[in-house]
A = this chain, B = another copy of it.
Amino acid sequence: MLYDFLNVDKSADKLLYEQLYDNIKQAIGRGMLKKGDKLPSIRGLSQDLGLSRTTVETAYDQLCSEGFLTNCPKRGFFVEAEDFETLGELLLPEKNNGDFSLVKWDFSTTGVDPSCTDLKFWQRCIKDVLDMPHIISSYGEPQGEYELRAALCEYSRRVRGVKASPEMIVIGAGTQTLLSILLGLCGDHGYNAAMEVGFFPQGEQIFSDFRWNITPLRADKDGIILDENIESRMLFINSSGSIRGCAPIPINKRNKIISWANHHDSMIIEDDFNGELRFSSKPVPALQGMCPSRVVYIGSFSKLLLPSVRISYMVLPPELAQRFVKRMQNYNQTSSKTEQLALARYIACGRLDRQLRRLRKAYGEKAAVMYNAVRAEFPSDTIVEIIETALCVRIKLKTDTPLEILRKRAEESGCRLGKCREKNGLKYFYLSFAGIPADVIPKAAAALSEALLKDRSE
């Protein structure tokens, strides 16, 4: 343990034991030593500070006699007094009310199925990188490691039809981080973004933090509705439909979006969250490939690899990429260099492709199991649908019980719920199957049904 606060000046007029006494008393007063903390032994401290043992002993004795310290035989000296000025005076925030220890079945969307990730191989990739001291003892590139940008270039082209060069790619720890950089880069572009609100609160938070206005857009089954009256120089879209839990935007709507953007000289941000995770139909390529000079493409891996790995990437149009490179030294990279290089290897040797194939298969099967289980457990007037890229089954339930009570009941039965909302008198629940093993799903669905339908059956 370090005792930086103990500082004895041999050239000072004050007696050495008095200085030490003052030091320790102040450290307790300032909270650097807390009740119960062990002090160094007399021998140890006298060696560390180059003082005689008597000096240290005298100071400790004085502090014991005044009640600041206590001497426990054979164990040593401990702080006895509370801080003079305690944190108790300050208003502390409430504890997070997130005790999920009772969760048996997690229907919220925060997990992936760990059985699909090649953890052993991921560990090996990490370990290979950690074995290179010169790599991990230096800062990473502000833009992200070149090796990873090159791998992402290939991957996004192959799997999502994205047109990029490594120079157009910026790595960052999550979509929010990338949005922050982007809004900083195009600050003079209008301070106004058009988007569908309510589906991506983390994105809206960033726009609000940067004091951008949001023009809310309506949507139909084919995605956002744009008309000529909408004046906005930035458009935020989710072309794969995974955020809203709907189908990908069809090609004719895509063409409309691009011609609208051309007409308004508007930039398009394409959030491709989970775009590659379609299992019943072929994924639709990203919009970016149709118009790389106007679209900023954002991709991430939280649902493909591991949510704990914080690596996302954006593909900037060349003009913006040049602007980024110019001020690049003013940005620090946020993603772990170790994990970036591990991911580069993981992708380059084809593991991510293999994993994506495996995930599609597994989620396709689980989606069917979840659908059938929910269909069997809920009454026939409940609408049940598979929402593909969101990895969930949506139920529309007829019940007069308020959402809050339903949610509480579910929690008491061990079911953790994700997004739910009320619309046209129906209660919508989005039940993720990503985090629940397939063989457990029927049991989980039965428990949920019992909790939600309690008063209907009574």
Contacts and interface: CB of A to CB of B under 8 A. Distances in A.
A93 B174 contact: no
B184 A177 contact: no
A444 B324 CA distance: 34
A306 interface: yes
A165 B184 CA distance: 33
Interface in A104-150: 110-114, 117, 119, 122-123, 126-127, 130-131, 133-141, 143
Interface hub of A177, A202, A333 (most chain B Cβ within 10 A): A177
Looking at A7, A111, A130, which has the most chain B CB atoms within 10 Å of its CB? A130
B167 A93 contact: yes
Contacts of A328: 96
A67 interface: no
A285 interface: yes
A90 B92 CA distance: 54
Given A114-B134, A322-B93, A1 B310 contact: no
A309 interface: yes
Contact of A202 (B4, B136, B201, B332): B332
A215 to B, nearest CB: 19
B114 A308 contact: no
A183 interface: yes
Contacts of A435: 138
Interface stretch (A154-162, A375-383, A425-433): A154-162
B34 A325 contact: no
Given A282-B4, A338-B308, A168 B93 contact: yes
B126 A94 contact: no
Given A285-B5, A330-B205, A338-B309, A139 B161 contact: no
A276 B2 CA distance: 11
Interface string A28-66: 001110100000000000000000000000000000000
Nearest to A181: B209
B335 A173 contact: yes
Given A90-B318, A94-B322, A308 B137 contact: yes
A176 interface: yes
A264 interface: no
A255 to B, nearest CB: 14
Interface stretch (A350-358, A364-372, A391-399): A350-358
A137 B306 CA distance: 5
B282 A308 contact: no
A32 B306 contact: no
Interface string A304-330: 001111100000011101101101111
A35 B372 CA distance: 45
A158 to B, nearest CB: 6
A435 B139 CA distance: 11
Contacts of A245: none
A83 to B, nearest CB: 8
A336 interface: yes
A293 interface: yes
A168 B96 CA distance: 11
- The 9 A-B residue pairs with the shortest CB-CB distance in the complex, in nearest-first order: A184-B209, A308-B337, A173-B334, A114-B137, A205-B330, A93-B322, A139-B307, A114-B133, A136-B308
Interface of A: 1-2, 4-5, 7, 30-32, 34, 87, 90-96, 98, 110-114, 117, 119, 122-123, 126-127, 130-131, 133-141, 143, 157-159, 161, 163-165, 167-168, 173-177, 180, 183-184, 187, 201-202, 204-206, 208-211, 276, 282-283, 285, 289-290, 292-293, 302, 306-310, 317-319, 321-322, 324-325, 327-339, 350, 353, 356-357, 435
29 contacts: A2-B356, A4-B159, A4-B282, A32-B161, A32-B285, A87-B164, A90-B293, A91-B322, A94-B167, A96-B143, A98-B141, A114-B136, A119-B130, A123-B130, A123-B131, A137-B308, A138-B435, A139-B308, A176-B331, A180-B209, A202-B331, A210-B210, A211-B211, A309-B336, A310-B332, A310-B333, A310-B334, A310-B335, A310-B337
Given A4-B282, A87-B292, A90-B317, 19 more contacts: A1-B353, A90-B318, A94-B167, A96-B167, A110-B138, A117-B137, A123-B131, A126-B130, A137-B308, A173-B173, A173-B336, A174-B334, A175-B332, A177-B334, A184-B210, A205-B330, A308-B336, A310-B332, A310-B335
